[in-house]
Amino acid sequence: MRTIFRSALPAALLIAGSTSSLALAAAPPASNQPPPLDAYGELPQMEDAALSPDGTSIASVVHTNGVRRVVVLKNGEVLFNGSSGDTKVRSIEWADNDTILLTNSATVPMFGFAAAKYEMSGTIILPLRPGNESGLVFGKTKGIAKTTRGRYGIRTIDGRTVGYFGGIALEVDGFNTRWRHGRTTLYAVDIATNRPRIVAQPASEDHYRDWLIDRAGNVAVFLDVSRNNGVWKITSPKGAELARGVDPTGDVSLVSFAKDGSTVVYAIEDEDGTSHWYEAPLAGGETREIMNEVGIERLFVDRNSGDMIGYRTQGETPRTIMDNPTYQSAITRIFKAFAGREAHLIDWTPDFSNVLVRTTGNKDSGTWYLVDVRAKRADPIGNERPAIAPEQVGAISTVDYKAQDGLDMDGVLTLPPGREARNLPVILLPHGGPAAHDKAQFDWWAQAFASRGYAVFQPNFRGSTGRSDAFRHAGNGQWGRTMQTDISDGLAELAKRGLVDPKRACIVGASYGGYAALAGVTLQQGLYRCAVSVAGVADLKLMYATDIRESGDSKMLTKSLREQLGDPRLYDEVSPRRFAARADAPVMLIHGKDDTVVGYKQSQVMADALKDAGKPYELVTLPGEDHWLSREETRKKMLSEAVRFVQKHNPAD
């Protein structure tokens, strides 16, 4: 156990040694040498965890010696320890005190569909009680595809645990099986026996359907959205209409119940991009807007009933608002205890007496705690990267600046350990999305570069989340334009402060960040000494056409993409592929062959364009890798290649 944790928290929560940690190891001894790159590229030793409803057991996905395992501790004793194989585990949770649910995914080739490959999710039942069924949800039912499409809650019905999952009905004719229509049907699955039954039929053709399940296990409301024109309505099972409207982009969703299940909460994004939340009585009556002008970072929902019990706001000083004063007191104390670090509430018992917390930030490469609120005790139960000592974590801070047009910006600056923060070589590392944002927390990619002597800046350019809806939608139509100059404006601010040497800058990113990296040396010139694009977009017209085709020519997606990207006739003007001849720095392209989000073809066409223009480039292909770098070996390869390339063209010393 890292001894720093004994003094890292204030007296609001007392730190005690953990008698049984899931992935806890002693920090390495202090050294003048940085950790090996693999210490950053490896998957976290503790990837996810969940707390049983009664608070006595912790289930965790851990990664040791290249093997992903599921470990269960009950009252400090190992109850289960087994390999999860090669599957890409996405989450772990408890269905009840005796059953774990694992969500995984796989890239699956498909024939006769709009896309050649899809990322399909599945849910695995892992019982700890002898005699209960295990295996994939729907795995023993011939008439349902072996995949789950959405989770709609876990309920206890007549003493039995029932899970509600979306599924795809199949037509089975002898040895021939085919999809009936591909639209989602809602099933109730008895978790102990893995036997499903239909509880709600799928939407009609060219419609999307969503449901909310009440505490008794009944479908309480339906949301139906037309894929053609965005007409939507919320109805009761008997057909009574609770709300209706039109949203051409389909940005309407069911959120939860409120007021002890007597009302339903739904969200709409209007034409100017502002999110609105509404509450509608299930018995009928007038709807009303709630939480007006409040940016919501996350909701807290009671897993037994589906009722909203609180929320956490966005912004520089987020607040957590809980309906129950006892819960409010517990959460307030937890966030106070972990002040100075990014703290995330991962799971909790129904009464909030025990809470799983994950922290990250300065001198913290990722730590998991079990908090006993009543005893005012927080036990560290796992470290994500024990090979990285606290003093080897580069200092993390937020830098405020203004864009050229005066818009307020911020970004996350990570500094190299042991170096003076003056005239440093720098990596610009814009995030993906672009509807995402970076926080002042440990980022394995940023820290890897910092460990090699670089300052790393992660700008939250317009189009990012985490601020207002207006800020997010200020990025509409601005790919390659003000979204791009927002990034270089951040570089200029750091140079103005004397922190970095603007003549020793590279730009690196993944997904949208990969696009920004390519744009930084094609649409812009004279700024960067090299660019690394991981799964980046090179041609907007190609991306637009691919997304529309794979959606089945969805009119809602078409409108949404045009709002985000602007007029399709102008896409060539901001596509790096079209400006390869203007590339003024070497380019590295890295892409997974199983990427179903940004196709591998994007990097291929960029490589061809650079080759034809006689520009220096490298193309690194990651076999079997998806968009999220889910596999450890290929993630480590990506990191080593990217660092090698940057060190070659922009050495830190």
Q: How many CB atoms lie within 10 A of CB 156?
A: 15
The answer to whether the CB of 544 falls within 8 A of the CB of 598 is no
User: Would you say residue 4 has pLDDT above 50?
Assistant: no
Residue-wise DSSP of 553-591: S-HHHHHHHHHHH--GGGGGGG-GGGGGGG--S-EEEEE
Question: What integer pLDDT is reported at residue 478 of this predicted model?
Answer: 97
Please compute the mean of the pLDDT values over residues 325-341 and round it to a whole number.
91
What are the C-alpha distances in Å from 151 to residues 52, 216, 306, 307? Answer: 18, 16, 12, 15
* Averaged pLDDT score across all residues of the chain: 90
Arithmetic mean of pLDDT, 478-499: 98
**Nearest CA among 7, 73, 52 for reference residue 381:** 73
Lowest mean pLDDT across 176-185, 409-418, 449-458, 620-629 = 176-185
pLDDT at 26 over 80: no
pLDDT at residue number 396: 97
Instruction: Please say whether the dihedral angle defined by the alpha carbons of residues 445, 447, 452 and 456, taken in this order, is positive or negative.
Output: positive
What confidence score (pLDDT) does residue 116 get?
64
| Residues 261 and 306: beta-carbon distance below 8 Å | yes
Percent of the chain with pLDDT over 70: 93
pLDDT confidence bin for 273, thresholds 50/70/90: low
Q: What is the mean pLDDT of residues 121-130?
A: 93
Position of tokens 């003094």?
A: 7
Looking at the predicted structure, is the pLDDT value of residue 600 above 80?
yes
368-411 pLDDT, tens digit per residue, is: 999 999 999 999 999 999 999 999 999 999 999 999 999 999 99
> Given a cut of 60, is residue 24 above it in pLDDT?
no
Instruction: Tell me the β-bridge partners of 252.
Output: 268
Which strands form 219-226's sheet, in the order they lie side by side? Answer: 207-213, 219-226, 231-235, 241-246
Q: What pLDDT sits at residue 113?
A: 58
The pLDDT tens digits of the residues spanning 274-292 come to 788 999 999 999 999 998 8
| Strands in 485-568 per DSSP E | 500-510, 531-534
**Of the listed ranges 116-125, 223-232, 459-468, 597-606, the one predicted with least confidence:** 116-125
- Is residue 269 scored above 60 in pLDDT? yes
For 499, what's the count of Cα atoms within 13 Å in the CB-facing half-sphere? 18
Q: Give the per-residue pLDDT at 119.
A: 78
Least confident segment among 35-39, 560-564, 641-645: 560-564
pLDDT attached to residue 468: 85
Q: Residue 507: is its pLDDT beyond 90?
A: yes
Pairing of the two strands 77-83 and 455-460: unpaired
Domains and CATH numbers, the chain: 394-539+575-649 (3.40.50.1820)
Tell whether the model's pLDDT for residue 175 goes beyond 80: no
